[in-house]
């Protein structure tokens, strides 16, 4: 009989078969935690004794705590706000400064909320999760605080003028809550309201409107989705004097319904269920994931359309096409300014920016001058009340730089930049391409010494993700640089299918029954590294987390002879039961439903936990996860490690007792987790 986990206890359920390690799914069970601590002791005793551990750990902690990091800010009212952690503020402080002060090399900050002091006073392990501040006065904010770093949060109203919590303000208990302001004294809230209020994925299915001064139990239901949905939530957007209120019903991870408030009722928008809907001023924007035949035209998946909201509601369908994808081009981001939009395009995994401006004769498109290398990030500074925007520039070897720019304001102003946290001298970035098993061209980036000796002996770390339309872009990682590149390692970033590098089609090519394509892409890259004699299996390590952890598990079980070491972080591994654990049901749009026999037939072919064999020689693997991860269940990593150990395989396991899905809740924990991984890789791959 199989089991599922609810509230830390083990209960009977369908699925799972005869699994002797189901007891490890009981997250806080004493026996399970004893097992965790014993495995942690084995891993830390070995890895912390490595000559690589302490120098890497100390270097990482110095980087993480460095005051030279860029203090990224959000403009709230007339101030810039930043959340900051360092050696003195371990849990962190929420702080603010003026616009003028921020332009200085060393701004003077005012502390708004000290999380270390709050945690000490309330005897809670608070981890910052963000704030939603009320438009347009920005005096009150709804703070999200997590115990230990999980996705579940406590909501508490905070006053920015008094820098104190509002004694009779909005307060909601711990849950996976979605909340947003609907007015000065009312909010939309989707949360755990008791039995029947959550979906099978563990997210809210009911949205309520809650008035100040009334009990949450008296809040009025405004929308209810189905139990089988992923989630329902509310969205309020104020843009250029236009106010939009919307309910989003996510029926799957990639599809759903958009309900716009028109007058005193919500109306369903007639758009494709897999489209992403947004608003800019009086315009409705629609980003397509699949082709849409409408108004006598066929708009391709990956396109961005716009139309006046009033015209759309009146039945018109004469869309302006703001972006059209290409075979190797995709829409990476969109920033709304006061008078224009900025499109961020990926062209063969390299960023390009374009200005889109409406006029009497339609929209005009103009390239924006920006550095031609690496990845660019663009976002509005003042939402859309000015034409000012932030621009970030980064690549593997160039420290990230933050610019402030304005349309028609001349050259961008360089405001902040990371220092060179590692020695990039003599290093080079090259983009390669391989032909995967089905003939698809797949790119990857390689960072290594110029004139690298191609003798197959270079310690090489191959990183991948390949899911949920997430793009793997060049970026400056001080941790990778200081812990791997500077010490002589080769770093490789894979752009396999399942990601978003070439738009929705690149992602959809590896969905559900086609999942193996992502794995074939990664295998082909690994084979190419050996073929080019950059490295060889003995010296090739791989790393990935979450969906990338699933990728690592598949590589471990499908092609163990290709790799010398595997770092598998916060992974999915038991794909027979993933949909019954925590948020797993929400990902059936990505992987499929293992309760449907024909879908389990193709999931079973790659599910790592079910494909372990006692007579196969596997590379050594380090599993890491977090007890407090309430998104991907730690039972995946626990059970995989236990089964491998029982079969006689050499495996290391480390579970952080807090940290959420990110694996760590503060800088010391991040440094330790990173140092364990890099010490393991150096130990195995030299």
570 dihedral zone (left: phi>0; alpha: psi -120 to 50; beta): left
C-alpha to C-alpha distance for 360 and 367, rounded to whole angstroms: 20
HEC string of 123-186?
CCCEEEEEEEECCCCCCEEEEEEEECCCCCEEEEEEECCCCEECCCCCEEEEECCEEEEEECCE
Q: Is there a contact between 83 and 90 (Cβ–Cβ < 8 Å)?
A: no
Q: Which H or E run includes 625?
A: strand 620-626
Q: Which H or E run includes 527?
A: helix 516-531
Considering the candidates 546, 586, 607, 626, report the single residue annotated as catalytic. 546
C-alpha to C-alpha distance for 445 and 30, rounded to whole angstroms: 45
C-alpha to C-alpha distance for 571 and 69, rounded to whole angstroms: 29
Which residues on neighbouring strands pair with residue 566, listed in sequence order? 542, 621
Q: Is there a contact between 103 and 116 (Cβ–Cβ < 8 Å)?
A: no
Q: Which of 548, 571, 556, 565 is nearest to 613 (CA)?
A: 556
Q: Is there a contact between 50 and 677 (Cβ–Cβ < 8 Å)?
A: no
C-alpha to C-alpha distance for 238 and 383, rounded to whole angstroms: 9
- Per-residue exposure over 592-602, b if at least 16 CB sit within 10 Å of its own CB, e if not: bebeeeebbeb
In three-state secondary structure terms, 294 is strand
Structure-token match 């209960």, residue found: 11
Which residues on neighbouring strands pair with residue 429, listed in sequence order? 447
C-alpha to C-alpha distance for 602 and 594, rounded to whole angstroms: 9
Cis link prior to 136 (omega < 30° from 0)?
Answer: yes
C-alpha to C-alpha distance for 114 and 127, rounded to whole angstroms: 11
Q: Residue 138 has which token pair? A: 């920005």
For the question of residue 167 being annotated catalytic, the response is no
Beta carbons within 8 Å of 636's beta carbon, 6+ residues apart: 549, 571, 572, 573, 574, 578, 581, 609, 625
Q: Residue 538 has which token pair? A: 């003995």
For the question of residue 661 being annotated catalytic, the response is yes
Query: What's the Rg (C-alpha) of the chain?
Result: 25
Number of residues that this document lists for the chain: 686
Q: Which of 462, 469, 475 is nearest to 434 (CA)?
A: 462
In three-state secondary structure terms, 400 is coil
Q: Residue 206 has which token pair? A: 């009911």
Q: Is there a contact between 616 and 35 (Cβ–Cβ < 8 Å)?
A: no
Q: Which of 661, 684, 685 is nearest to 673 (CA)?
A: 661
Beta carbons within 8 Å of 395's beta carbon, 6+ residues apart: 373, 374, 375, 429, 474, 475, 476
Catalytic residues, by residue number, are 546, 661
């Amino acid at each position: 009989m199989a089991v599922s986990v609810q509230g830390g206890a083990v209960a009977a359920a369908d699925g799972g078969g005869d699994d002797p390690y189901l007891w490890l799914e009981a997250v806080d069970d004493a026996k399970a935690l004893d097992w965790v601590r014993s495995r942690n002791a084995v891993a830390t005793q070995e890895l912390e004794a490595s000559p690589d551990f302490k120098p890497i750990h100390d270097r990482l902690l110095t980087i993480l705590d460095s005051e030279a990091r860029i203090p990224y800010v959000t403009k709230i009212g007339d101030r810039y706000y930043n959340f900051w952690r360092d050696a003195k503020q371990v849990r962190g402080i929420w702080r603010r400064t003026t616009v003028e002060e921020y332009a200085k090399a060393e701004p003077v900050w005012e502390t708004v909320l000290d999380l270390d002091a709050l945690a000490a006073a309330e005897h809670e392990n608070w981890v910052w999760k963000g704030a939603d501040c009320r438009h347009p006065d920005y005096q009150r904010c709804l703070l999200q605080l997590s115990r230990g770093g999980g996705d579940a949060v406590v909501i508490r109203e905070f006053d920015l003028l008094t820098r104190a919590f509002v004694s009779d303000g909005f307060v909601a208990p711990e849950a996976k809550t979605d909340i947003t302001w609907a007015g000065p004294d009312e909010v939309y809230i989707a949360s755990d309201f008791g039995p029947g209020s959550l979906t099978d994925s563990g997210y809210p299915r009911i949205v309520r409107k809650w008035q100040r001064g009334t009990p949450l139990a008296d809040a009025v239901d405004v929308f209810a989705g189905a139990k089988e949905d992923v989630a329902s939530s509310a969205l309020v957007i104020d843009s250029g004097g236009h106010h939009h209120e919307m309910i989003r019903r996510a029926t799957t991870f990639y599809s759903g319904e958009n309900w716009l408030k028109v007058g005193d009722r919500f109306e369903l928008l007639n758009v494709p269920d897999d489209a992403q809907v947004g608003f800019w001023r009086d315009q409705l924007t629609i980003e397509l994931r699949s082709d849409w035949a409408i108004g006598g035209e066929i708009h391709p998946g990956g396109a961005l359309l716009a139309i006046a909201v009033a015209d759309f509601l009146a039945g018109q369908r004469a869309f302006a096409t703001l972006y059209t994808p290409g075979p190797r081009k995709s829409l990476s981001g969109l920033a709304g300014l006061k008078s224009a939009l900025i499109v961020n395009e990926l062209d063969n995994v390299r960023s390009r920016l374009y200005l889109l401006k409406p006029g009497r004769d339609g929209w005009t498109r103009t390239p924006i001058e920006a550095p031609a290398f690496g990845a660019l990030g663009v976002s509005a500074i003042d939402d859309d009340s000015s034409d000012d925007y932030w621009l970030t520039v980064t690549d593997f070897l160039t420290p990230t730089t933050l610019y402030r720019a304005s349309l028609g304001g001349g050259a961008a102003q360089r405001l902040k930049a990371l220092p060179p946290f590692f020695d990039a001298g003599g290093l080079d970035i090259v983009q390669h391409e391989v032909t995967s098993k089905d003939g698809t061209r797949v790119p990857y980036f390689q960072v290594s010494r110029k004139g690298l000796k191609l003798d197959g002996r270079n310690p090489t770390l191959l990183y991948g993700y390949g899911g949920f339309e997430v793009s793997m872009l060049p970026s400056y990682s001080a941790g990778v640089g200081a812990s791997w590149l500077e010490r002589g390692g080769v770093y490789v970033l894979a752009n396999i299918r399942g990601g978003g590098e070439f738009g929705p089609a690149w992602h959809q090519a590896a969905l559900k029954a086609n999942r193996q394509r992502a794995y074939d892409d990664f295998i082909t890259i690994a084979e190419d590294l050996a073929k080019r004699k950059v490295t060889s299996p003995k010296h090739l390590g791989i790393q990935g987390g979450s969906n990338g952890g699933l990728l690592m598990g598949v590589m471990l079980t499908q092609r163990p002879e290709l790799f010398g070491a595997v770092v598998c972080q916060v992974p999915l591994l038991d794909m027979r039961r993933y949909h019954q654990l925590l948020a797993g049901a929400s990902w059936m749009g990505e992987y499929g439903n293992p309760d449907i026999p024909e879908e389990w037939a193709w999931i079973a072919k790659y599910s790592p936990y079910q494909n372990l064999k006692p007579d196969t020689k596997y590379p050594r693997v380090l599993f890491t996860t977090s007890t407090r991860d309430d998104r991907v269940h730690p039972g995946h990593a626990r059970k995989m490690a236990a089964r491998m150990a029982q079969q006689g395989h050499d495996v290391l396991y480390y579970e952080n007792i807090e940290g959420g899905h990110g694996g760590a809740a503060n800088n010391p924990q991040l440094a330790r987790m990173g140092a364990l991984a890099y010490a393991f890789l150096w130990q195995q791959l030299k």
